[in-house]
Amino acid sequence: MRAVVVAVVAVAASGGVATAYPQFQLSKDQACTACHVDPAGGWLLNENGLSTAQSLGTYDVAPEAAHGALVGPSWLEVGAELRGGAGLVAARGLGAAAYPMQADGEALVHGDGFTLFGTLGPQQGSTAASYVASREHWLMWQPDQSATDGLYLRVGRFMPVFGLRFAEHTAPTEQYGGAQLYGEAYGAALEYVKPGWEAHVTGFVHDPIQDTVEHGDGAALYTELRVTQAASIGVEGRYATSSVDTRWDGGVTAKYWVAPAEVLLEAEGQVIRQSFPAGSARTQLVSYLIGSWFVHRGWMLDVGAGQYDEDTKIKDVDLECVDVDLHWFASSHWELLVTDRVQTIALGAGGPTSGWALLQFHYRL
């Protein structure tokens, strides 16, 4: 008999983060910074981002923080991100699960070319120190702060930019490819972002205070070039070394906007060389292909296919998955989405199949 397990996992146990939807990028002929303060995308929206969020939602409400009630002086912006989800997971048995994914407050102050940004929110932890944590806090400088692109210098705690930044952290290229959830590190980044091309170079060290999934120190590079009005290609590289392992990651990305159908195709493939202190090593492959279709105002459908081979030498340790996600941007503050995955080990060789179907909400204050 299949057991039904009700798992209520503490805050952020499988948490998401309110990162950018890159699906919007090519359709709007813009870079992430057209809508986000963060040159990597995600977190607080700028004025244009608020306007865009308002135009995307089914219901037209004021996009500012707390529907305009928390609008302060021009040098201050505050916000919050709440996420949660519940549904069914199926590994060997079918179970129900609930995931209180994220509850982060965020604030920034800016002036004279500088932006100071920070987040604070609860995280599950066995120690008081990890119960309330700041995932990101950084100081950024721009030569022209009135511009929404150009040169950016950042120091602080953030996620080193590496490859495509999907909103769903379960994308195989994020989960296994060096941009894991809670993979933030302390670093210094030189970033140049324009609609036609962007480049991010980051040197980083792991957080010595808060434990994260990133234990290594190293560097990350990502550059993306728009080769036509509808297509872009990118190159990524990353190195990190720690007492646990040393990883070299390299990969390519591609995006293609199918304008008549309003479908964005995105693809990413990575090769990872991982060596261990005891002397062994392995090569891994991970890839993801996703198509996003703007079905109607406020509605977006994603269909993705991914693959992860944890050791290319060893038979039947590869994972294949298919994702179907339906997003409803009810308003500029509320998003509801259904995320579904079916994945199998060693496709065609009779490996086990698992998956999930979750209803999630995302509330942006």
Partner 1 sequence: MTVTIALTACGTEPDSRPATIDYIVDAVLAPQCAVAGCHTAASQAHGYAFDTVDDTLAAFHSSRDQLLVDPGQPDESELYVVLISSDKPMPPAWTLPHADIELVKTWIDDGAPGYTP
Name the segment binding partner 1 (CB under 8 A); options: 13-21, 59-67, 137-145, 150-158. Answer: 13-21
- What is the pairing mode between strands 231-241 and 246-258? antiparallel
For partner 1, the closer of residues 140 and 267 by Cβ is 267
Could you say which of 318, 323, 325, 335 contacts partner 1 (CB under 8 A)?
318
For partner 1, the closer of residues 78 and 88 by Cβ is 88
Could you say which of 122, 203, 250, 351 contacts partner 1 (CB under 8 A)?
351
22-81 binders of partner 1 (CB under 8 A):
none
163-222 binders of partner 1 (CB under 8 A):
169, 175-176, 180-182, 210-213, 215
For partner 1, the closer of residues 7 and 259 by Cβ is 7
Name the segment binding partner 1 (CB under 8 A); options: 9-17, 35-43, 224-232, 294-302. Answer: 9-17
Largest Cα–Cα separation, the chain = 65
Judged by CB under 8 A, does residue 144 bind partner 1?
no
Smallest distance from partner 1 to CB 184, Å? 11
- Distance between CA atoms of 76 and 256, rounded to whole angstroms? 36
Name the DSSP class of 65.
G
320-339 binders of partner 1 (CB under 8 A):
320
224-283 binders of partner 1 (CB under 8 A):
243-245, 254, 267-269, 274, 276-278, 280, 282
Name the segment binding partner 1 (CB under 8 A); options: 49-57, 70-78, 158-166, 353-361. Answer: 353-361
C-beta atoms surrounding 152 within 10 Å: 21
Name the DSSP class of 210.
S
Name the segment binding partner 1 (CB under 8 A); options: 63-71, 85-93, 195-203, 255-263. Answer: 85-93
Using alpha carbons, list the distances in angstroms from residue 309 to 38, 91, 115, 320, 347. 32, 19, 40, 9, 11
Residue 268: helix, strand or coil by DSSP? strand
Q: Which residues pair with 79 in a beta bridge?
A: 106
Judged by CB under 8 A, does residue 6 bind partner 1?
no
Smallest distance from partner 1 to CB 55, Å? 32
Nearest to 299 by CA among 332, 328, 325, 263: 328
- Distance between CA atoms of 10 and 125, rounded to whole angstroms? 9
What are the phi and psi torsion angles at 28 (to 5°)? -105, 0
Judged by CB under 8 A, does residue 123 bind partner 1?
yes
Site string for partner 1, 294-313 (x = CB under 8 A): -----------xxx-xxxxx
For partner 1, the closer of residues 145 and 180 by Cβ is 180
- Distance between CA atoms of 130 and 133, rounded to whole angstroms? 6
For partner 1, the closer of residues 125 and 195 by Cβ is 125
Q: Which amino acid is at 198?
A: E
Nearest to 117 by CA among 128, 130, 104: 104
- Distance between CA atoms of 302 and 182, rounded to whole angstroms? 24
